[in-house]
Chains A and B, each alone.
Chain A
Amino acid sequence: MFLQQFVNALALGSVYALFALGFTLIFGVLEVITLAHGAVFMIGAFAGLTVVTKFNVSPITAILVGMMVSGMLGWLIDLVAVRPLRKRKFHHLAPMIATIGCATIIINVAQGIFGAEVYRFPFDFMPAMSYNFWAIQLTLLQIIIVGVALSLMMMIIFLLNRTKWGKAVRAVAESPRTAALLGIPVERVFQITAFAASALGGAAGVLTGINFNAIHAFMGGPIMHRGIAVIILGGMGDIRGAVLGGLILGFAEIMSVAYLSSDFRDAISFGLLFVILLIRPAGIFGSNLERKG
Chain B
Amino acid sequence: MIEFLMSFWQTYNTLFYTVLVHGMLALSIYITLACGQLSLGNAAFMGIGAYTAALFTMKLNVPFGIALLAGGMLPALIALIIGAPTLRLSGVYLAMATLGFGEVVRVAFLNMSITGGSVGLNGVPPKTELWHLFAAMGVLIYFFLKLKNSRFGRALEAIREDEVAAAVMGIKTTWFKVWAFAIGAFIAGLAGGLNAHFTYFLSPREYGFDFAVDILTFAILGGTGTFWGPLIGSTILTILPEMLRFIGSYRLALNGLILVLVVIYLPNGIITVKKKD
Query: Are the CB atoms of B111 and A263 closer together than 8 Å?
Result: yes
A228 part of interface (Cβ distance < 8 Å): yes
Q: A84-B264, A111-B249, A225-B103 are in contact. Are A104 and B89 (CB under 8 A)?
A: no
Residues of chain B within 8 A of A273, CB atoms compared: 96-97, 100
Q: Which of B36, B96, B213 has the most CB of A within 10 A?
A: B96
Residues of chain A within 8 A of B241, CB atoms compared: none
A154 part of interface (Cβ distance < 8 Å): no
Q: A228-B99, A267-B107 are in contact. Are A94 and B267 (CB under 8 A)?
A: yes
Query: Are the CB atoms of A102 and B95 closer together than 8 Å?
Result: no
CB distance from B44 to the nearest CB of A (A): 11
Residues of chain A within 8 A of B69, CB atoms compared: none
Query: Are the CB atoms of B89 and A96 closer together than 8 Å?
Result: no
Of A123-131, A135-143, A238-246, A274-282, the one with at least 4 CB within 8 A of chain B = A274-282
Interface residues of A in 76-116 (CB under 8 A from B): 80-81, 84-85, 90-98, 100-109, 111-112
Query: Are the CB atoms of B85 and A278 closer together than 8 Å?
Result: yes
Residue of A nearest to B108 (CB): A267
Query: Are the CB atoms of A266 and B252 closer together than 8 Å?
Result: no
A293 part of interface (Cβ distance < 8 Å): yes
Q: Contact partner of A97 among B108, B216, B251, CB < 8 A?
A: B216
Query: Are the CB atoms of A85 and B89 closer together than 8 Å?
Result: no
Residues of chain B within 8 A of A289, CB atoms compared: 89
Q: Mark B82-98, 1 if CB is under 8 A from A, else 0.
A: 10011011111101110
Task: Give the distance in Å from the alpha carbon of A267 to the alpha carbon of B101 in the complex.
Answer: 9
Q: Mark B21-57, 1 if CB is under 8 A from A, else 0.
A: 0000000000001001010000000000000000000
Residues of chain B within 8 A of A277, CB atoms compared: 85-86, 89, 93, 97
Residue of B nearest to A91 (CB): B36
Residues of chain B within 8 A of A229, CB atoms compared: 100
CB distance from B125 to the nearest CB of A (A): 30
Query: Are the CB atoms of A266 and B107 closer together than 8 Å?
Result: yes
CB distance from B246 to the nearest CB of A (A): 13
B258 part of interface (Cβ distance < 8 Å): yes
Q: Contact partner of B213 among A84, A95, A98, A104, CB < 8 A?
A: A104
Query: Are the CB atoms of B95 and A104 closer together than 8 Å?
Result: no
Q: A90-B267, A274-B85 are in contact. Are A33 and B92 (CB under 8 A)?
A: yes
Q: A96-B38, A266-B107 are in contact. Are A104 and B253 (CB under 8 A)?
A: yes
Q: A97-B220, A273-B100 are in contact. Are A293 and B90 (CB under 8 A)?
A: yes
Residues of chain B within 8 A of A267, CB atoms compared: 104, 107-108
The 10 residue pairs across chains A and B that have the minimum distance between CB atoms? A101-B259, A104-B256, A105-B256, A101-B260, A108-B253, A270-B100, A108-B252, A101-B256, A278-B85, A266-B107
Interface residues in chain B, defined as those with a beta carbon under 8 Å from any beta carbon in chain A: 33, 36, 38, 82, 85-86, 88-93, 95-97, 99-101, 103-104, 107-108, 111, 209-210, 213, 216, 220, 249-253, 255-260, 263-264, 267
Interface residues in chain A, defined as those with a beta carbon under 8 Å from any beta carbon in chain B: 33, 35, 80-81, 84-85, 90-98, 100-109, 111-112, 221-222, 224-225, 228-229, 232, 263, 266-267, 269-270, 273-274, 277-278, 281, 289, 292-293
